Amino acid sequence: MERRPLIAGNWKMHLNVADSVSLAAAVAAGSRDLGDRDVMIAPAFTALAAVAEVLKGSSVFLAAQNVAWEREGAYTGEISPAMLMDVGASMAIIGHSERRHIFGEDNEMVNRRLLGALNSGLVPILCVGETLDEREEGETFKVLEQQVCEGLEGVPGDRLPSLVLAYEPVWAIGTGKTASREQAQEAHSFIRDVLADLYEKNLAGQVRILYGGSVKPENVDALMAEPDIDGALVGGAALKAESFDRIMHFS
């Protein structure tokens, strides 16, 4: 099953509007020669509209770093799928480990966000991943299975191929520690098996599963060579045009 690679940059709570615009312009320029893969960037909410302008005419996808489940209403601090689409976003990161661990989002809330995004036409990137304690206690697969099953509750099979998943071991995010290519491939292949059990093998084979956790120019080629790794969700190394450019141009 051919899956089109996706290289995604998560800018987290970094960069003002002017710096976001110049980094987005560099990403758009650098991605012009890439016909065989997709590129996505997720600036802070405050920079989405300005970055959308810069990306016009490029093939770079614009994403939000989170999304509310309702269309509008009394949800102070939240941004709805319709609002995000209104400023030009077409994708949304959901269930990032920083949302889960710092802001207490659980699988149920992640699922609500995912359904809200999907039903509005935003492509969700569902993040899953175990902590170091869970890995050391041999619970990695149990945690991943629960996050995938509960995160996808209520998603019909025909919508599955339009979703993206990201395996992001929490111990590898922002720590400089990358999962080895073997560890990452093992987790990706397990997640694909969970999808096949939940839906069917053919549908599971169409879903892109990204790896995230200290992806850098030095390790991206090895990770991308693994059969079930379909792209990368990049934090720190996405904040510098040069390093993200090298990652987008993985071979």
- Binding residues vs ligand PEP (CB under 6 A): 10, 12, 168, 173-174, 212-215, 233-237
Q: Which is nearer to ligand PEP, 98 or 228 (CB)?
A: 98
Distance, CA of 162 to chain centre = 13
- To ligand PEP, the closest distance from the beta carbon of 127 in angstroms equals 7
Catalytic-role residue among 98, 130, 134, 168: 168
Query: What whole-number distance in Å separates Cα of residue 156 and Cα of residue 12?
Result: 30
- To ligand PEP, the closest distance from the beta carbon of 198 in angstroms equals 24
Q: Which is nearer to ligand PEP, 229 or 233 (CB)?
A: 233
- To ligand PEP, the closest distance from the beta carbon of 12 in angstroms equals 6
Q: Which is nearer to ligand PEP, 24 or 199 (CB)?
A: 24
Q: SS3 of 204, please?
A: helix
Please name the helix (run of DSSP H) or strand (run of DSSP E) that holds residue 39, with its range, or none: strand 38-42
State yes or no: is 96 an active-site residue: yes
Find the residue with minimal CB distance to ligand PEP: 235
- To ligand PEP, the closest distance from the beta carbon of 203 in angstroms equals 25
State yes or no: is 108 an active-site residue: no
Helix axes 181-198, 140-151, angle to 10 degrees: 40
Query: What whole-number distance in Å separates Cα of residue 127 and Cα of residue 107?
Result: 11
Which of 4, 12, 5, 17 has its CA nearest to residue 238? Answer: 12
Q: What is the CA radius of gyration of the chain?
A: 17
Q: Which is nearer to ligand PEP, 122 or 173 (CB)?
A: 173
Catalytic residue annotation: 96, 168
